Amino acid sequence: MKRARLQRDKMLPLLFGLTDDSVEYRNRIRTYAHLAVWFILSGLTMVLFIFLAKNNIERITVLVISFIKYLPLLAVIMALGKTKAASYLADIFELEDESIAYNFIDEVAFGYGSDQITINEGKISDKDERSPIILIGGPGYIQVNLDSVALLERVDGAPEIIHPRGKPWKLGRFERIREIGKYDEVGKREYAIINLRDQFVRGLSVKSRTKDGIPLEAQDIKVLFSILRKPKDEAPENDPYHFDENAVYSLVYNQTIITPPPSKTAGVSFPWDTTVIPLITSELENLITSRNLSEILASISHKEIDALNENEATNKQMRIEMTGEHTAPSGAGSFHTPNFESRSKITAQFFSDEFKAKAAKLGVAIHWIDIGTWQLPSEMILEELKGGWQMMRENTRRRGDIERLAKRHEMQELIALVNNVIVSSYSKSGSSSSSRKLSDKEFLQLAKIVEDNPEIAFSPMLQQRFSQDAATKKDMNTNALDILKAFRKEFIVARELIQRENRSSIEKQADISRIDKALRDIDYHVFHYIKGAK
């Protein structure tokens, strides 16, 4: 009993299996069964009728008929069984032509596969789409050309990747190319076949609302992409179409299903329409929704930003040379560039490590992208935006004019103070006595002016000298002389600063002339006092 069970367990897998050994076993069993049935029926007929024959001719006729008459019967039984099986198979695989399933029965049960199809440029021909290899599965052969790769699935669902090679790939029984998509018509079906060439798509568009609620659309987006390649250190030599096998599984099984489907097609089919296109459109949509319109369509360019940064660096260097301080003076006129998302910066997002990792997870790589043009729903919005930009430029220009006027006024006040407080005092005392001292009131007035206006006379050395003079009660004539020397240095630096300003030469010459006059007066009194003291 145990031995019979073991034999049965061994025989059933061979009888119903899908391997070549099972085919050989079924062919033997079919041959033995045909011979046994034919021999038994023919022998029985011959035994029953041969003794009724009266002569040798009748005996020979009975013998021949006994051997022949059951052969058509066996053929009819086999044909009827194949017809029933083909009808069932056609219903399972939804085949319109049962003859395809009828011919497939012999191949899958007793044959080794003779059909062959070819995959070229990521697709198969219309003729090959009608092959049982595509409609039902193996056995059969698939020739994969240089620029394609496909994914097969066995009966148990296990995947297998077939790549380009000179020898055709042999399919197991019921092993077939995975079918993708909802269409079941020749020419419209989509299969898990991937073109290894670089792909180019254009005419994409993304429509969304900005952070401030304004509709904005990116039109005519162009992308160059491909399946994810192997790393350079693993890529085979002289193979431009190498690929990462994990990328094939990702492209087939990690698709993005968009519901409802978009009204405009991207012009590409599987797997790009469910991987690359949603990846690009979602990234641009996130960009639009997270920015204001002015940040995407800004009025300032990189050239203007570079010019502003260069001017700021020049002013900072001058300030350090004049004051020895590294802190910038605060003021309302400081210019802040807008948070502008330039086209180059947007494009760079698609080549960042974060985006590359996201694309690699889907099995693709972006080689080049053009984000197209921005389109507003109404020209009125653009005109209002331009008006805002113009107002911003005008306000910036006016702010600069006010700053220049304020500096000019400060310089005039400084020159007037020097002439009135210092130069005039020494001019009046020139004829009487060279040792005339400033009164306490005049000294305190000058010290208060310097203390209240650090942006005019902001030299640390000058302020320190004032504090030391007030503390130690130095000689007033020496203090005045030191003050004149300090102001002389400040005037020289101010003259160099005015010469570098971006103003007309007439305006600069007027200020420089007043500074030169003050310098001449200071030089006269400083050196006249030193000479008289000697």
Name which residue leads in pLDDT, 45 or 429.
Answer: 45
Write down the architecture of domain 199-299+338-377 according to CATH.
2-Layer Sandwich (3.30)
Q: Which residues lie below 8 Å from residue 259, measured CB to CB, with a gap of 6+?
A: none
* Total length of the chain: 534
Whole-prediction pTM: 0.57
Give the side-chain half-sphere CA count within 13 A for 192: 22
Whether the per-residue pLDDT at 143 is higher than 90: the answer is yes
The answer to whether 150 and 192 have CB atoms below 8 angstroms apart is yes
* pLDDT attached to residue 483: 77
pLDDT digits (tens, 9 = 90+) for 284-296: 999 888 888 777 7
pLDDT digits (tens, 9 = 90+) for 247-257: 999 998 887 77
Name which residue leads in pLDDT, 258 or 358.
Answer: 358
193: helix, strand or coil: strand
Nearest Cα neighbor of 189 from 178, 198, 197 is: 178
pLDDT digits (tens, 9 = 90+) for 41-77: 787 777 777 767 677 777 777 777 777 877 888 888 8
52 vs 68: CA distance, rounded Å: 19
Share of the chain above pLDDT 70, in %: 69
* pLDDT attached to residue 400: 72
Q: Mean per-residue pLDDT for 303-312?
A: 58
337 vs 437: CA distance, rounded Å: 53
* pLDDT attached to residue 318: 56
pLDDT interval class at 224 (50, 70, 90): very high
* pLDDT attached to residue 149: 93
Q: How do the domains of the chain map onto residue ranges?
A: 2-68, 113-195, 199-299+338-377, 395-533
Q: Mean per-residue pLDDT for 240-247?
A: 88
pLDDT digits (tens, 9 = 90+) for 326-353: 444 444 344 455 556 677 888 888 899 9
184 vs 189: CA distance, rounded Å: 6
